[in-house]
């Protein structure tokens, strides 16, 4: 589901540089945990939060069970409102459709609000290669665009950067005073530049958070209002969405709006929830609906729940591996536990390390607003990749040996005694030679196992 080229997804190697910078690692970890805590506070004051999660999961599951019907209904209702609906099989067709619409209108300047779908499709690069200037108007997206790097988080694209680094970037690219690091001042500098881009734009591209089959309208959620400006000034609006963004009824929207912002940033609701029902007077609205591997996931029973995702990023904010390795280490547009489940569907060999970038603690599943069992799916992927012999022989052999031992009580007890005897005698240098042991100290080995301790205390 990702067209990013030139990057491997060997997560441990990609994470090494991020992990080596202790200060950045600690700051990144604490920043995301702060957001996770805000989410906890926001949800704790909603007595019916778990009911909302269950309701959201049920609505999404029902929608996926009749996805073709709801997409057809949405197309009919949107067309009746004056919008033009296009279907794209994959990223290439999506990009070709969008470029065709822009070329037909002689557009050379485009503003775009945040859209992970267009990031996955590589739309910016495609349009720029065809002579069209694309300006991302979400502040975080604009920052990473100016740095010529992908987002590291689906909600907070520049969360991996410090304000001092952004100050230097704005000094080099926007004329901000040297040494400026005050977030308010930097935001004002960016606002002044983006205002000019918005006024000069000939077309606006947005993502879609929700598409309502009952009404034919689409909803875009932002905190900066950039999607509204980007679609209100130019006459051409192109909205790009995955097939899974459709929901059945208008009244379902309230459930997801309550879940989305609280899970993403701990806010009661996003600052702007913009509804587009047909084009504005004198304008054009085109909605491009993209499959790009989603139907294949829908056809796999154990994995289809990932299509319930509403892209809040809560699984990333809570994941101990993501917080300590950074989003770029995953090498895909959607990082974290969700990306580790999605990416192998497209290329299992290329993304084989991602399902192992997890402790399987289950925290991602616990905070998911639509109850996706992410850690279970990561475990399923590990099994699939092992059976397909896509993981190193050493790891497969170790897993098979561990499985053999854990299935036999006598072997487990025997090897446990040997381990408790030999571990205190091993030189520490031997432990340091192991990847796992480089940053860890083994606790003292106990003199007896839990089973022996239990038997002794029970007098058996």
- How do residues 143-163 score in pLDDT, each as one tens digit? 999 999 999 999 999 999 999
Phi-psi region for residue 46, left (φ > 0), alpha (ψ -120 to 50) or beta? beta
Angle between the 374-387 and 336-346 helix axes, to the nearest 10 degrees?
A: 40
pLDDT at 10: 87
pLDDT tens for each residue of 384-438: 999 999 988 988 899 899 999 999 999 999 999 999 999 888 887 777 777 777 7
Provide the residue count of the chain.
460
Is the pLDDT at 180 greater than 60? The verdict is yes
Whether the per-residue pLDDT at 1 is higher than 50: the answer is no
CA distances from 34 to 28, 29, 264, 310 (A): 10, 9, 12, 21
Give yes or no for residue 5 having a pLDDT over 50: no
The whole-number pLDDT of residue 8 equals 52
How high does pLDDT run on average in the chain?
Answer: 94
pLDDT for the residue numbered 427: 80
* Residue 416: per-residue pLDDT: 93
Report the pLDDT averaged over residues 260-280.
96
Measured between alpha carbons, how far is 216 from 246 in angstroms, rounded to an integer?
10
Alpha carbons 454 and 456: distance in angstroms, whole number = 5
| pLDDT of 55 | 98
Euclidean distance between the first and the last CA atom of the chain, given in angstroms as a whole number: 58
Query: In what helix (H) or strand (E) does residue 134 lie, and over which residues does it extend?
Result: strand 133-136
Instruction: Say if residues 209 and 154 touch (Cβ distance below 8 Å).
Output: no
What is the SS3 assignment for 275?
Answer: strand
Q: What is the pTM of this model?
A: 0.90
- Is the distance from CB of 370 to CB of 56 less than 8 angstroms? yes
C-beta of residue 28 within 8 angstroms of C-beta of residue 326: yes
Averaged pLDDT for residues 19-39: 95
pLDDT at 115: 93
pLDDT value of position 9: 63
Q: Give the per-residue pLDDT at 175.
A: 92
Task: Tell me: pLDDT of 374 over 90.
Answer: yes
With the C-alpha atoms ordered 36, 315, 312, 351, is the resulting torsion angle positive or negative? positive
Distance from C-alpha of 274 to C-alpha of 131, rounded to nearest angstrom = 30
Q: What is the mean pLDDT of residues 198-222?
A: 97
Q: Nearest CA to 326 among 153, 148, 116, 139?
A: 153
Share of the chain above pLDDT 70, in %: 98
Mean pLDDT for 294-303 is: 95
What integer is the mean pLDDT of 350-356? 95
Residues forming a β-bridge with 273: 221
- How do strand 217-222 and strand 272-276 relate by DSSP bridges? antiparallel
Residue 338 has pLDDT above 80, yes or no: yes
pLDDT band at 440 (very low <50, low <70, confident <90, very high): confident
Q: Is the pLDDT of residue 272 over 80?
A: yes
Q: Which long-range contacts (CB under 8 A, 24 or more apart) does 254-257 make?
A: 255/52, 255/55, 255/56, 255/59, 256/56, 256/59, 256/209, 256/210, 256/310, 257/221
The pLDDT score that the predictor gives to residue 222 is: 95
Span 222-235, pLDDT tens digits: 999 999 999 999 99
User: How sure is the predictor about 6, in pLDDT bands with cuts at 50, 70 and 90?
Assistant: very low
In the numeric block, the tokens 């290439």 are attached to 92
Average pLDDT over every residue of 358-384 = 97
Instruction: Give the pLDDT of residue 110.
Output: 98
**What average pLDDT does the segment 321-337 reach?**
95
């Amino acid at each position: 589901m990702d067209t990013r080229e030139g990057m491997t997804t060997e997560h441990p190697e990609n994470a090494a540089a991020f992990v080596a910078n202790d200060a950045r690692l600690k700051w990144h970890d604490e920043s995301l945990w702060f957001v996770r805590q805000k989410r906890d506070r926001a949800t704790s004051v909603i007595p019916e939060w778990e009911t909302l999660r269950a309701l959201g999961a049920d609505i999404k599951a029902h929608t996926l069970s009749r996805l073709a019907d709801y997409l057809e209904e949405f197309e009919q209702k949107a067309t009746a409102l004056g919008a033009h609906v296009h279907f794209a099989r994959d990223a290439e067709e999506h990009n070709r459709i969008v470029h065709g619409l822009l070329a037909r209108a002689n557009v050379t300047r485009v503003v775009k609000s945040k859209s992970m779908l267009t990031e996955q499709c590589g739309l910016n690069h495609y349009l720029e290669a065809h002579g069209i200037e694309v300006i991302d108007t979400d502040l975080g997206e604009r920052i990473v665009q100016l740095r010529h790097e992908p987002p590291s988080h689906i909600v907070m694209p520049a969360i991996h950067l410090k304000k001092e680094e952004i100050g230097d970037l704005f000094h080099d690219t926007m004329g901000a005073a040297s040494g400026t690091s005050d977030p308010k001042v930097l935001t004002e500098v960016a606002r002044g530049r983006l205002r000019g881009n918005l006024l000069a734009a000939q077309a606006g591209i947005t993502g879609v958070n929700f598409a309502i089959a009952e009404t034919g309208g689409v909803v875009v959620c932002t905190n900066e209002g950039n999607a509204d400006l980007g679609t209100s000034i130019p006459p051409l609006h192109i909205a790009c969405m995955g097939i899974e963004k459709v929901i059945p009824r208008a009244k379902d929207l309230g459930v997801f709006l309550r879940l989305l912002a609280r899970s993403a940033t701990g806010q009661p609701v996003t600052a702007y929830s913009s509804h587009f029902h047909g084009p504005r007077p004198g304008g054009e609205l085109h909605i491009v609906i993209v499959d790009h591997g989603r139907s294949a996931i829908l056809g796999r029973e154990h994995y289809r729940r990932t299509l319930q995702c509403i892209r809040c990023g809560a699984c990333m904010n809570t994941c101990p591996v993501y917080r300590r390795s950074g989003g770029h280490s995953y090498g895909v547009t959607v990082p974290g536990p969700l990306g580790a489940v999605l990416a192998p569907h497209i290329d299992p060999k290329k993304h084989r390390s991602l399902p192992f970038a997890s402790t399987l603690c289950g925290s991602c599943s616990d905070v998911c607003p639509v109850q996706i069992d992410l850690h279970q799916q990561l475990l399923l992927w590990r099994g699939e990749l092992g059976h397909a012999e896509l993981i190193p022989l050493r790891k497969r052999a170790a897993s098979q040996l561990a499985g053999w031992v854990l299935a036999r009580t006598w072997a487990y007890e025997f090897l446990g005694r040997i381990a408790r005897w030999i571990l205190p005698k091993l030189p520490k240098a031997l432990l340091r030679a192991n990847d796992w042991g480089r940053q860890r100290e083994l606790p003292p080995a106990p003199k007896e196992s839990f089973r022996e301790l239990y038997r002794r205390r029970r007098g058996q």
